[in-house]
Structure formats: C-alpha cells, structure tokens
Amino acid sequence: MATNMESYEGLRNRPNAHSVYTGVDDEGGESVEELRERLRQMKALVSERPNTRKSGIDDGFLSVVFAMILAVIAFVSLYAFYTLYIAVQKRWSSTPELK
C-alpha cells in the first residue's frame, strides 16, 4: 500500500501539461516568452563577436591531409586487389608448374 501512496505523491508533484505548453510556471520561473527573448539576445551577442579560430589548423592544410589519407587508402586497396588477382591467376593457371 505504501508504494501506491508514493506513486500518487509523485503524480501529484508533477507539473500540469497545461503549464508545459503555455509557458505558465507554477513555481515562479521564467515563461516561454522570457526564455525566447533571452535566446534572441544570446544569438545577437554571438553574431556580433568576430569569427576567431582557436586551432592552428587551417582549411588548406586539412584538405591536404585528407587528400593524402585518401591516396594511401586507394593505393593500399589497389595493391590488395592486384595481389589477390595474381594469387588467383597462379592458382587457376592452365599450365602446371614443374616441381
């Protein structure tokens, strides 16, 4: 019986669905309109700040690094397929090898 009372108390302490959608807060907190206004102010502050970078890596260097990684991956893939082709060709060649 104690668990039913605890669950009832938990339901009673939850905010109403009406307060979630209308911005009316029973505890005296900020309304939705006040939060939206604060968000607009924060967006304005962020847009006014100069665009500064904190890392020393620029876009050109990053592009070169990714291009080199792509080239290495392509080379390793081609080498693996070439090696596999040679192995299959040796295995299924029509001329038997002499021992």
Query: For 21-80, what is each residue's pLDDT tens digit?
Result: 555 545 557 789 999 999 999 988 888 877 666 677 788 999 999 999 999 999 999 999
Q: Which phi and psi angles does 4 have, rounded to 5°?
A: -65, -40
Single pTM value for the model: 0.42
Instruction: Report CA dihedral (83, 89, 90, 92) to the nearest 10 degrees.
Output: 140
Residues 6+ apart with CB under 8 A from 22: 32
| CA 96/CA 42 separation, integer angstroms | 78
Q: How confident is the model at residue 94 (pLDDT cuts 50, 70, 90)?
A: confident
Judge residue 74's burial from the number of C-beta atoms within 10 Å of its C-beta, 0-12 exposed, 13-18 middle, 19 or more buried: exposed
